[in-house]
Amino acid sequence: MTTLDTAPLAALLHQLFIDADATSAMFKQQLDALPAEHRAAMMASKDDYIAFYSRAKDVHLAVSRETGRLLYMLARATNARTIIEFGSSFGVSTLHLAAALRDNGGGKLITTEFEPTKITRTRANIAASGFADLVEIREGDALETLAQHLPQSIDFVLLDGAKGLYPDILSLVEERLRVGALIVADNANWSPDYLARVRSRRGVGKGVNRYRKASAEVGAG
């Protein structure tokens, strides 16, 4: 049995996914109604992301059940102890990663969110799961909150905030990535600059001439 499958987390996640299905379906309909080029430009934007996510302040935009479980397994398999998350929303992915930390024997997860209502919900969900000792929520734009006071060594990064900022967030954490660190970039297809960067021969992380960091691109969240 894992922490994911036991009380109190299992029941909380079950309810969160039901809520997420409802809010995300409505939001997806609105997005799908936009012309494809407009949607792509909006998703990749580095200027309009605050307005975009403010419109989605009541929408979970959570990873799927399968992606959540995959995040848990990846963090477990790599024995992650230090995790950075860009974009917590209501905390669905946060809870999966914190469960992995718990089952790995402890550690620290720094998550980031700028929507006040979502910060409140994430904080409540973390408290209800008994993960307050593992998770630090950095409130505000992650471009600022991740610009300082990072762990000396980072094992795992989840990129799931504004897609246009993925390269910038990567730059903030890059020097601290341990060799073999895992970067999971949800919906990375909306961030062509990020994909070009991680696929380039230069690679990611310090000592890139000698090492290439593992990088995963996980779809639909």
Ligand X SMILES: C[S@@+](CC[C@H](N)C(=O)[O-])C[C@H]1O[C@@H](n2cnc3c(N)ncnc32)[C@H](O)[C@@H]1O
Query: In the stretch 128-157, what mask flags binding to ligand X with x, by CB under 6 A?
Result: -------------xxx--------------
What's the token pair of residue 42? 């909006």
128: closest CA among 106, 98, 86?
Answer: 98
Which stretches of 3-118 are assigned E, i.e. beta strand? 82-86, 108-113
User: Binding to ligand X by residue 118, rule CB under 6 A?
Assistant: yes
Site string for ligand X, 30-49 (x = CB under 6 A): -------------------x
Amino acid of residue 77: A
Choose which of 3, 78, 89, 125 interacts with ligand X (CB under 6 A): 89
Query: Which of 97, 119, 125 lies closest to 12 in space, CA to CA?
Result: 125
For ligand X, the binding residue among 9, 75, 157, 165 (CB under 6 A) is 165
Minimum distance of ligand X from residue 114's CB (angstroms): 4
Return d(Cα 25, Cα 27) in angstroms, integer: 6
Q: Which is nearer to ligand X, 47 or 209 (CB)?
A: 47
Which region, judged by CB under 6 A, interacts with ligand X, from 84-92, 149-157, 176-184, 207-215?
84-92
How far is residue 204's CA from residue 154's CA, in Å, rounded to a whole number? Answer: 13
**How far is CA 29 from each of CA 20, 23, 25, 56, 140, rounded to the nearest angstrom?**
14, 10, 6, 13, 28
Out of 9, 44, 110, 162, name the contact with ligand X by CB under 6 A: 162
Residues in the interface with ligand X (CB under 6 A) total: 25
Q: Judged by CB under 6 A, does residue 194 bind ligand X?
A: no
Q: What is the torsion angle, in degrees rounded to the nearest 10, for the CA atoms of residue 24, residue 29, residue 34 and residue 37? A: 60
Using the minimum distance from each CB to ligand X, give the nearer residue, 112 or 129: 112
Binding site for ligand X (CB under 6 A): 49, 53, 60-63, 87-90, 92-93, 112-115, 118, 141-143, 160-162, 165, 221
